[in-house]
Amino acid sequence: MIKVFVNGFGTIGKRIAAAVLKQDDMSLVGVAKKKPDFKACIANKFGIPLYVFSEKDIEVFEEKGIKVKGTIDDALKECDIVVDAAPKKVGMENKKIYEKFDRKAIFQGGEKASIADVSFTAQVNYRAALGKKYVRVVSCNTTALARIINEIMRIAKIKRIRGTLVRRAADPWEVKKGPINAIVPAFSVPSHHAKDVKTVLGDINISTYAVVVPTTIMHMHVLNVEFENNVNEGDIISSLEDARRIIITPSDMGLDSTATIMELARDLGRERNDMYEVVIFREGIKVIDKELWLSYAVHQEAIVVPENIDAIRAMFEVYKEPEKSIEKTDKSLGILRRL
């Protein structure tokens, strides 16, 4: 059993902790919190051991009736690996603590690629993470781009990729972010996502542009791929249908927006209404001469969760090949191949 400690219990951390609890080859040492808020109470309610950053914090938490098992030093002595789910740009400071205890660590996409030995997406470069000490699971948007592009590259030689990312403004629970009534364009071209994709897929010709819109439930990507030769739309669809963690909406079934995709997650009975899969809109797949157009939805709260689980297995070389880990993770989380 791989003993996992999750440092952070926010949007991503709580989902990773829940996913670890579903694995038969992992155990959850606990989670870390900085503030004695409702999320800490939830950890207590579900019997998840809670750790804080100092002895003084223990008193603060317990004064509010929140049970604490110990400090993160205690957790680091007990665990085999840390999944760092702290706010972005905090990871580098946290890494110093993990190094002190000689612990493997996984970081999230909000950190710079230089924090880790490899940037990771399970379907693309699982083998590159085998035995590594530090791995960075790329962001929700980069994960989606990597999954899609990796499958498209199997069909024909790509000349160039251009992507427009329509980004949610905040996660649903965040009340201090915006915009509320605006569309905010990017002023950096390409957006950082293009550079980040290259950390996983290598030197491909990709440029991305991002805008932020007043919604909280999902991101939307519009992707244009130009090939060196003519491609068949049916071949594209078949490849994407066969891929893991990608689903294509059936035609004329009413799944025509991010809102209906989230409603589907609710109807599937998913915990926290999560969609781990990239959801491609069937009606939006078009091949014109040597160009492919498609659009897809990305659930920013959940898409990277299975990647973190697979990264843990790769780092401990539980499976040398990605298929076995991905199959195991997908089964435990109820991830679909097709609708």
Hey, which residues are catalytic here? 140
Give the tokens for residue 329: 């993770």
Q: What separation in angstroms does the CA of 84 have from each of 10, 40, 95, 134, 191?
A: 11, 17, 9, 11, 25
Q: What is the DSSP string of 159-202?
A: EEEEEEEEEESS-TT--S---SS--EE-SSSS-HHHHHHHHHH-
CA-only gyration radius of the chain, Å: 20
Per DSSP, the three-state class of 59 is: helix
The DSSP symbol for 148 reads H
Give one DSSP letter per residue of 210-256, joined into a string: EEEES--S-EEEEEEEEESS---HHHHHHHHHHSTTEEEPPTTSS--
